[in-house]
Structure 1
Amino acid sequence: MSSLLENLNIPTCIWFEGGDKRNALASIFAGFLFFTGWWILIDAASVHSGSVLAGYHMCGVFGTLSLIMVNSVSNAQIRGDAFEGGCMGPRGSRIWLFLGFVMGFASVIASCWILFADFVAIEHTVQWPGVALFIQNAFIFISSLIYKFGRSEDLWG
């Protein structure tokens, strides 16, 4: 019975190999999460046009700026291995990364605040726009983390 499946050869899929495909997979998955987050909010804004105010979109804009800020510096720049010039050297890149994470956390916290203050506490008939706003910002923040720490070049130097 043990020799029944020994001669069965299943070819490996190119996209699910580790190692050299890790950067591509992390980039694809992070981009998909970023796209899905914005798509969910755009859907909620189009279906429930009166419930999503124009100011609510600022959470997603700040989350997107946070994604750009966090992923614009590499770990080599933060460690000081590849970055000696500039305004403040490695310290400047660390401050830039910190500010990017603060903006990301702030956008997630602000979207959570909007969800509970404007959609749950007041008892709207439709709560989906608030949930969509929170999901959008959570997906953008998670995609930022996946792209930053899921890439082997940044993670292992």
Structure 2
Amino acid sequence: MTKMASCFENLQMPACEWFEGGDKRNALASIAAGVLFFVGWWIIIDVAANYPSMSEFNHAYHVCGVIGTISLFMINAVSNAQVRGDAYSNGCFGPRGARAWLFIGFVLGFAAVIAACWILFADFVGSDKKSWPGVGLFLQNTFIFVGSLVYKFGRSEDLWG
């Protein structure tokens, strides 16, 4: 078998001299996730303030953001070490319980984003209503879910064990 050469194989990127974030990786991931979470909720607060009537923006749509927030807490409640079984031997379920908890958290996060997308296209796109409430709802849930992923996978403990 022949090995294909990669064009980026010998590419060397110089180190960023003005920013060394190796020991600050956890703090930066936390800040980035917090900003994304804040922006998501700020968008939906803007939507709720600008469209206060139920005919413009149904207040039951806030359930998507609440489910996304619960998903954020569930995803980030377990570390990768607990999922691998390295640091979690106590409890009734062990690593299987941590994996199930993480899976349910991801399912809730995806469900919140999918439900917001469904609401956007079913109620706001192609109708007489203004589309910003639906777009704001979708952006809120997307930012919350991306924020949970940034926090989960941006921390050095979770990446490197």
What's 2:57 paired with? Answer: 52
More helix by share: 1
C-alpha deviation, 1:129, in angstroms = 0.5
What's 1:5 paired with? Answer: none
Could you list the runs of 5+ residues in structure 1 that have no partner in the other structure?
1-10
* Amino acid in the other structure paired with 1:152: S
| SS of the residue 2:29 aligns to | helix
Please, what is the CA RMSD of the aligned residues? 1.1
Q: Deviations over 1:60-89 (max 9, x none)?
A: 000000000000000000000010111210
Which of 92, 96, 102 in structure 2 is aligned with 1:91?
A: 96
Which of 137, 142, 148 in structure 1 is aligned with 2:141?
A: 137
Which of 123, 141, 156 in structure 2 is aligned with 1:118?
A: 123
* Amino acid in the other structure paired with 2:113: V
Sequence identity (%): 68
* Amino acid in the other structure paired with 2:139: I
Q: Which runs of 4+ in 1 moved over 2 A?
A: none
* Amino acid in the other structure paired with 1:145: L
TM norm structure 2 = 0.86
Instruction: Give matches, 1:28-67, under 5 Å.
Output: 28-50=31-53, 51-67=56-72
TM norm structure 1 = 0.88
